[in-house]
Each structure stands twice: as C-alpha cells, then as structure tokens.
Chains A and B, each alone.
Chain A
Amino acid sequence: MRGLENRNSHMKYALFSLSIVLTGWWVSNPYYLQLLTFIGIYTVLALGLNMLMGYAGQISLGHAAFYGIGAYTTAIATVHWNWPPWLGLLLALGLTAVIAFLIALPMLKLTGYYLGMGTLGFGMIFYILFREWTGFTGGTSGLVGIPPLSIGALTLDTGSGYFYLVWGIVVVCFVICERIVNSRVGRALRAIHDSERAAAAMGVDTSRLKVWVFVLSAVFASLAGFLYAHLVTFISPDSFDFIVSIRIVTMVVIGGMASIWGSLLGASVLTFLPDWLHVFSDYEMVVYGLILMVVMIFLPQGFTRGMLDIYERARSRYSRPSTSPQG
C-alpha cells in the first residue's frame, strides 16, 4: 500500500513537472510568463501559510512581514553590501527564521482572535520599519537596482529562465510540505488543529511544535520574498503591507485549508482574478469581495477540500462501514 502511494506521488510530481516544462516552452508572451512566475512565488507564500493555518490551525495576519524581510534582506545585502544574491538568500532565510522564532515564542501563546490581532500587529510594525528605516530600506521610494539571479554563467533575467527557477522551487516546496504533512510531525500538527487538548494528551508538545511550524511558514514566505525581489529588481514597502497579508490568507482560504495543491489553486485564482476583473474597473473590489463571500458560504473549506468532500460523501454513501467492533 505504501509502495503504491509512493509511486502515485512520484507520478503526480512527474506530471506536474512536465506540465511546468511544457508551459514554459509554450508560453512566449513575456507578460504571461511573468504572471505565471508571480503565481509560482505566491504559491510558495500560500503553501507556507497553509502549513501554519490549514494544517496547524494557527492564523497569521502578518505574513507579509516575513515576505518583506526576505525581500529586503536580500536587497540590502546585494545593493548596499554587494553580496552575491545566493548569499543574500541564506542571510534572508536565516534572519527570517530567527525573527520568526523570537516572535513566535510569545505570540503563539495566543489563540483565535487574539492570535489574529497579535500577528496583525507585527505585520504593521514591520511595514512601518520598511517604510521609515530610510537609510537601510530606502523608505517609501524603495530600493532600486537589485541584481538579477544567475546560476554559474547563466543569468536568469529572461522570462523563461526565472519562470523555470521559481517553478522548480515550487516543486521542491511541494515535496517538502507533502512529506511533512504525511509524517509524524505532520500528523501532530493536524492533531493540534483538530483538538489541542487531545494532542497534548497524546504527548504532543503543542507550544513547541506551533513555534516550529510558524518558523517554517515564515521561511517559506522569506523565500518567496527573495524570489520576488530578484524578479522585479525593485522593492518598496507597499508590496508588503497589510493588504498583502490578507491576500495570502485569502489564497489559502480560497484554495483550500490543509490542501497542498489548493495553495497552487488559490495563488492562481488570486493572481488571475484582478487581471480579469479589470473589466469591472471601479467595481473590481466589489466583485472580488463577492467571490470571496460566495466561496466562504458554499465551500467553507475552500475549493479543493470542498470538491473532495463532495466526492468523498458521494463515494462513502455506497460503502458505509458495516462491520461491528469486537468481532
């Protein structure tokens, strides 16, 4: 059974990778290529938050802060200190992990609305930091001249090069998350979501685990920030404000809580949607909010989970458990 499961998941990733390669080869319009690259970056963001929110059940309304820390760290390292970008990546991830850890220690003692408010708070603090620490971050005018990424002699500034890099990272992140979710820690995370009391009674060190999944989630956001900074080569505080945090949460919710592939869906919908909604011009936000409401009312678990639930319910109607316990 296990072997079959593994083969299935290999198959899935082979198909996924193939479709990425085909897409990259087929799409030549640089605008769409960049849009697709953005989807990849948002997928990494949503995936990270989904580990925290969807699986462990802990909300964060300040994830743009970590996205920003990733972007600003690599930008400052490469622009101000002339570091090579890959070293900037290491610094970004490391710094984010440390900051996330220090924030998580007191923050994750909160639950529910209070955790939401708390994370909202640190999101605000970091946004102000990005905006006001002018000497370092360039303030409201932002940081210009972030170098493009290169691997060896290959510079990834053309649309398709960066597209492949980002989506390669997405695949790796998918594998990482899927492995975590289906492991002992992943089950413990889901257990915390279902019943924190029962999880503790099973010996799960809930507060420690929540801190670590928060760090993991922040590191994903930081990675996304790094990819963003080197893609657009210019960053300003507005890319990391409160609305962005909300957008990440929305991606997770729309795509589906506790669904790895749902993150991809959520990121895609939220990237394409504003593009399509331009038709509605001034009413764009109204339509946007309406879509959110409809999804929440009819598919509160998000698209993927909602569809799966409908499917499973239909299936289990025909195969109810029919044996009795104790023989």
Chain B
Amino acid sequence: MNGLEADTRVLQPLLKVEAVSKSFGGIQALYNVSFEVAAGHIYAVIGPNGAGKTTLFNVITGIYTPEEGGVFYEQQPIRGRSVHQLVRRGIARTFQNVELFDSMTVLENVLVGQHVRTRCGFWGAICRWPWVKREEQHAQQKAVELLKFVGLEDVGGHRSADLPFGWQRFLEIARALAAEPHLLLLDEPASGLNAVETEQLAALLQQIRARGVTLLLVEHDMSLTMGISDKILVLNQGKKLAEGTPREIQADDAVIDAYLGRE
C-alpha cells in the first residue's frame, strides 16, 4: 500500500477527475466525484444500476459537460475538446452495447480505429501517392497484428456483424487499441460475455496493461474487476461510496451494505 502511494506521488496521474457534479433535470446523476487514475494502472468504477457510472463515462469522454468540477487528462482539462480531439490525444473507448461498423469487415473495423494515426485524405486517396500506399500497407499490417493480439486473425475478412457477440467485444477492443491510446476506457466490457469469455477478457486486459496502456473500466460485474484492478471506485446514487484496492473494497462496510451485501 505504501509503495502504491509513493508511486502516485512521483508520477502525475494520467487522468484526474475533480469534484465533478452533473444532473439531468432534477436528478443528480453525479455529485462531487473525485478520483485519480495513475498511469499504468487498471482502475475500475463499479456500482449498481443507476449509480452514475455511464454518466461518469460520458463526462470523461467529453460527451457531457459537468456543471461543476472538471476532468484533466495529462494535466490538461478536457472541457471544450471534441471527442475526436481527445482520441488524437490518446483516449480511446469501447461501448456498453458494442458499436461496430457492421457493413465493414473485421479488418476494416480495426483500420478505422487507426484513423487518427494515419493521414490520407480525399486527394491522397484519389492520387494514391507512394506514401499513401505505404501508409495503407503499414496500417493493414498493424490491423492484422492487433487482430492476432485479440485472437481474431482468422476472421479478418468476415463482416463484423456476422461474429458472435463475445468476439465482437474483443474486436471492439482491438479497434480501440488501433488508435494507440494511452488511456483506454471500457464501458461494461464483461456484459454479455459468458464465464470463459470473461476470463479471456481479464487476461487480455492484463496484456493490454503490460503494453503500457492505462485502463479505466466501468463495470457492473464484480468478479472481473476484483481480480485485475489496481484500484476500485464504488459509486452509489451518484456519490463516491468508497475507493481502494480490491481487498479494501471487499472489506468496506459501506460497500457491503450498499452493494455486495444485497446478494
């Protein structure tokens, strides 16, 4: 525990959420939520349905603007940045309900993921300069590598809509990784997965962390987060209920009362 604290003091946090509040009409979705995600960590936000997880996610990705407080990525506020600018700066995400490009092949999905790391425009495409061909070739190679990384290299030519749901989740992660993110945000990555796939996901997330990517996951399912997270934040009714290592969270009375104890 001491080692962890020393760590975060030396390294500036990659993501800092500072006293964020957000309400919709009369409903307070988030109230004064603060936390920091250290570079290289797997950080999980958990909470029951309606706890404000998705709102928090949308605040971090710049879709919602909080009424109070702010979100800082690499020491810079994300307020006023459009979503695509944030991707360029290294924040990639996946969706709760998997949003792939269904008319495209698996490989093409990953190629779109590289959008911010490539630069061919209309003229480049029409003229097909040598650098465009090189860029395209390089992008294809990288896409194949990423598919290999998530174990989908054999289905690169299939349409993504034809994949079973579990594979679509892995594809979505490969697509997000193609943007070469520093911070990867995963919105309920285990939902809809069976037990075997959830284990595969846990292993994959750890491999992703080993590549130097920081992960922030919002999860409903405790089993995944307890095993792999460095730190967990528990939200309840828009408020921060507890924060700590998985072990601390499991021992926390408030958490047990509000969340774990219900089972």
Nearest 3 A/B pairs, CB to CB: A203-B87, A183-B125, A203-B116
Residues on A with C-beta less than 8 A from B128 are: 179
Determine whether the beta carbon of B101 is less than 8 Å from that of A190. yes
Determine whether the beta carbon of B103 is less than 8 Å from that of A201. no
> Considering the complex, which residues of chain A in the window 216-251 have a beta carbon less than 8 Å from any beta carbon of chain B?
216
A84 to B115, CA, bound (A): 42
Q: What is the size category of the interface that chain A forms with chain B? A: 35 or more
Determine whether the beta carbon of B151 is less than 8 Å from that of A327. yes
A216 to B121, CA, bound (A): 13
**Hey, which bits of chain A sit against chain B, CB under 8 A?**
2, 176, 179-180, 183-188, 190-191, 193-195, 197-206, 212, 216, 258, 316, 321, 323-327
Chain A residue nearest to B166 (CB atoms) is A325
With most chain A CB atoms within 10 A of its CB, the pick from B125, B137, B170, B203 is: B125
A176 to B102, CA, bound (A): 24
Determine whether the beta carbon of B122 is less than 8 Å from that of A212. yes
A2 to B150, CA, bound (A): 24
A195 to B150, CA, bound (A): 22
Contact residue among A203, A216, A323 (Cβ-Cβ distance under 8 Å from B154): A323
Query: What number of residue pairs across chains A and B have CB atoms under 8 A from each other?
Result: 122
Q: What is the size category of the interface that chain B forms with chain A? A: 35 or more
A323 and B155 contact, Cβ closer than 8 Å, known pairs A176-B126, A180-B125, A191-B101? yes
Determine whether the beta carbon of A185 is less than 8 Å from that of B112. no
A60 to B152, CA, bound (A): 38
Chain B residue nearest to A198 (CB atoms) is B99
> Considering the complex, which residues of chain B in the window 125-164 have a beta carbon less than 8 Å from any beta carbon of chain A?
125-126, 128, 132, 135-137, 139-140, 150-152, 154-155, 158, 162-163
Q: Which of B33-41, B88-96, B240-248 contacts A (4 or more CB under 8 A)?
A: B88-96
Whole-angstrom distance from the CB of A251 to the nearest CB of chain B?
Answer: 20
Whole-angstrom distance from the CB of A242 to the nearest CB of chain B?
Answer: 29
A195 to B161, CA, bound (A): 13
Determine whether the beta carbon of B125 is less than 8 Å from that of A198. no
A258 to B111, CA, bound (A): 19
Contact residue among A2, A179, A204 (Cβ-Cβ distance under 8 Å from B137): A2
Determine whether the beta carbon of B155 is less than 8 Å from that of A321. yes
Residues on B with C-beta less than 8 A from A190 are: 101, 103-104, 108
Residues on B with C-beta less than 8 A from A2 are: 137, 140
Determine if B255 is an interface residue (Cβ-Cβ < 8 Å): no
Contact residue among B95, B158, B163 (Cβ-Cβ distance under 8 Å from A201): B95
Determine whether the beta carbon of A194 is less than 8 Å from that of B101. yes
Whole-angstrom distance from the CB of B150 to the nearest CB of chain A?
Answer: 6
